[in-house]
Amino acid sequence: MPYPRGHRQQIKKEIVNSARRLFNRNGFENVSIDQIMSGAGLTRGSFYSYFESKSDLYAEVLSCFFTDPDWKSCWEGVNIDMAAADAAPQIVNAYLSQQHFEDVENSCPMIALPSDVARNGKKAKRAFQTVFKAMVELLELGLDDGVESRHVIAQAIAAMCVGGMVVARSIDDRALSDELRDSAMDMALRLGHWDKSKKSKRRTA
């Protein structure tokens, strides 16, 4: 009996999602193909029907809601309407939110995996670059036409979002980590001339 239409694409998506969660949590080197396939509910034997190598899969994992239409562009309590006029400040708020900070497995890989990218050759770097450029383009669309150097400002905001979250995740002191995210969010919104009153509220336990 033949598989239903779209079966292969769905299986590939499940492998990518499993790998994204594991890579985000443990890093590239500490995750095996067996673990990836087990996380997708599959056996190792079918892996090479979809990917040439773990490195080949890694390049596909390097996507985020900026480039992947199937990405759930939200974390618990945080939603982004990419078609909204104020999508750019929504992106800043979501990216630097407490929810994104805490949801390591479903993070944008630009936060969890930059050091892995640097060690994984040109294909991974190109994939990372594609996601970053897509983020910059979306942020640039949210800047007023009269703003000078829109592209430069959008690049700075994107770097502040990604870098701010990387540093926040690397700090053991949670109060300092939260303060750093808040500072990055405030400055990013200020650079974009966006209304800071729309800043996400910190979730309390």
pLDDT digits (tens, 9 = 90+) for 53-109: 888 888 888 877 788 776 765 677 787 888 888 889 999 999 999 999 998 888 888
Kind and range of the H or E run holding 74: strand 74-75
Backbone angles phi, psi at 150, to 5 degrees: -55, -45
Q: Please report whether residue 67 resides in a domain.
A: no
Domain for residue 157, yes or no?
yes
Same domain? For 22 and 92 the reply is no
Structure tokens at 159: 């770097």
In a domain, 2, yes or no: no
User: Residue 38 sits in a domain of what CATH number?
Assistant: 1.10.10.60
- 0.85 exceeded by pTM: no
Task: Name the domain boundary from 40, 61, 82.
Answer: 61
Residue 185 identity: M
Note whether 93 and 154 are same-domain residues.
yes
Same domain, 178 and 100: yes
- The boundaries of the domain holding residue 178 are 74-198
Is 205 part of any domain?
no
- In tens, the pLDDT along 117-172 reads 877 778 888 888 999 999 999 999 999 887 779 999 999 999 999 999 999 999 99
Structural contact between residues 163 and 181, judged by C-beta atoms closer than 8 angstroms: no
